[in-house]
């Protein structure tokens, strides 16, 4: 009984210290403003353009350099890997584009919201 009380008391103290720690962390984080959204959007668009040109170069490279193997299985696997690499590079590219669009929309929206 006494051991159970001590364990419960320690858990309550630990839970209170965790809550206080989380509250102090939340109070120390500054609020994001329009400048943060604009910088994030521009960074994302910059990465989009870089990866767009890189993805185009990857696609052109794989279209020029066809796999030259006599085995059908090896050609099939090679073609699948080439398609996977090209697809993932363009997925990365357009992910940055959509993130940039979203941050730009949040940037514009931040001017219309009132601070409470």
d(CA 37, CA 81) in angstroms, rounded, equals 37
Task: Kindly report each contact of residues 60-68 with a partner whose C-beta sits within 8 Å and lies 24 or more positions away, as own/partner.
Answer: 62/86
pTM score above 0.85: no
- In whole numbers, what is the pLDDT of the chain averaged over residues? 83
d(CA 95, CA 97) in angstroms, rounded, equals 5
d(CA 116, CA 104) in angstroms, rounded, equals 22
Residue from 61, 64, 24, 48 nearest 104 by CA:
48
Write out the chain's pLDDT in tens, 116 residues: 555 555 555 555 555 566 566 666 666 777 778 889 999 999 999 999 999 999 999 999 999 988 788 888 988 999 999 999 999 999 999 999 999 999 999 999 988 886 66
pLDDT on residue 59: 95
Through-space distance between the first and last CA atoms of the chain, rounded to whole angstroms:
49
């Amino acid at each position: 009984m006494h051991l159970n009380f001590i364990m419960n008391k320690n858990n309550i103290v630990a839970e209170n210290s965790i809550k206080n720690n989380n509250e102090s962390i939340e109070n120390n984080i500054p609020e994001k403003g329009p400048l943060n959204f604009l910088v994030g959007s521009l960074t994302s668009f910059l990465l989009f353009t870089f990866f767009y040109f890189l993805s185009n170069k990857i696609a052109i490279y794989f279209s020029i350099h066809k796999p030259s193997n006599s085995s059908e299985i090896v050609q099939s696997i090679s073609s699948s890997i080439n398609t996977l690499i090209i697809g993932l590079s363009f997925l990365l590219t357009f992910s940055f584009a959509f993130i940039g669009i979203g941050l730009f929309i949040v940037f514009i929206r931040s001017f219309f919201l009132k601070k409470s």
